[in-house]
Amino acid sequence: MEYANHLQEYAPAPTAESVAAQVASLKAAAAENGNIDIYKRCLAAVDLTTLSCSDSAESVAALARRAAEFYIDYPDLQNVASVCVYPPFVENVGLAIDGTPMRITSVAGGFPSSQTFLEVKMLEVAMAIENGADEVDIVLNVGEILAGNYDEAANEVEVLREESEGATLKVILETGALRSPGLIYNAALLSMAAGADFIKTSTGKIDIGATPEAAVVMCQAIGEYFRKTGRRVGFKAAGGVRTKEDAVLYYTIVKELLGEEWLTPELFRIGASSLANCLLSAIEGHEVKYF
């Protein structure tokens, strides 16, 4: 399918100058949002993530069991949205959280570089879902985007959308590699047009992770796509989101640019590991190392 020709149907990409001005304004607004109620909402948006070369079935299962125990230990708080792992550990997570409303997220499709055969990406996505993944985080083919091969990149997403039928598909733009507002904006629109349920900032595996500048551009693209199609696509910040201040800033960006409707786990996520403990500590008023 042709996708690149349809980019002209959307509003132009924001300039770097306009994005910088918006970020400055949003940082000021975020300073007013540092309160327990918002920390709770950010905690409920967390995809509790372990994507390490040292992960094992035992370590992943232990983390997932701990997340499942949260429902008992903190019955008055909404738990994290999901546990996010590599594909071989999906079944371990499923056994540990069985009977809870928590979801299972698997990275797939050649994560983190997306540099493998399309057939391998398809198989990995399909196997992750077959093993129990509710959500799949794939990486947009950044090389194709940088080369100007927009249709090729979008068609890969379309194929993986078909493979992930019935699951939530999050497409990682790897904004730190795209860098410019124009490329990030186009990548976001292409991914959404190809079927993404969420667009996500980063893999966390390169030197530049999530930034408020990228988030502003992505949320503007989400808003523009919604105005054109009527379909709401979610936003996920990931890659270096570690502090409660970071979480509140991304919460504020989504609230101000997209509105309250997007501030639910169905449309707003934060991929993180240490952040969950940071938010829980802020909510409880003392240091907590739970997860």
From residue 288, give the alpha-carbon distance in Å to each of 78, 199, 281, 283, 284: 16, 31, 5, 10, 8
Confirm if 172 and 140 have CB atoms less than 8 A apart: yes
Which residues belong to the active site? Answer: 137, 200, 236
Tell me how far apart the alpha carbons of residues 271 and 13 are, in angstroms, rounded to a whole number: 26
DSSP string, 134-155: SEEEEE--HHHHHTT-HHHHHH
Cα–Cα nearest to 51, from 202, 178, 190? 202
Q: How far apart are CA 254 and CA 146, in angstroms?
A: 27
* H or E, element range at 131: none
Alpha-carbon span 155 to 164, nearest angstrom: 14
Tokens encoding 166: 């019935």
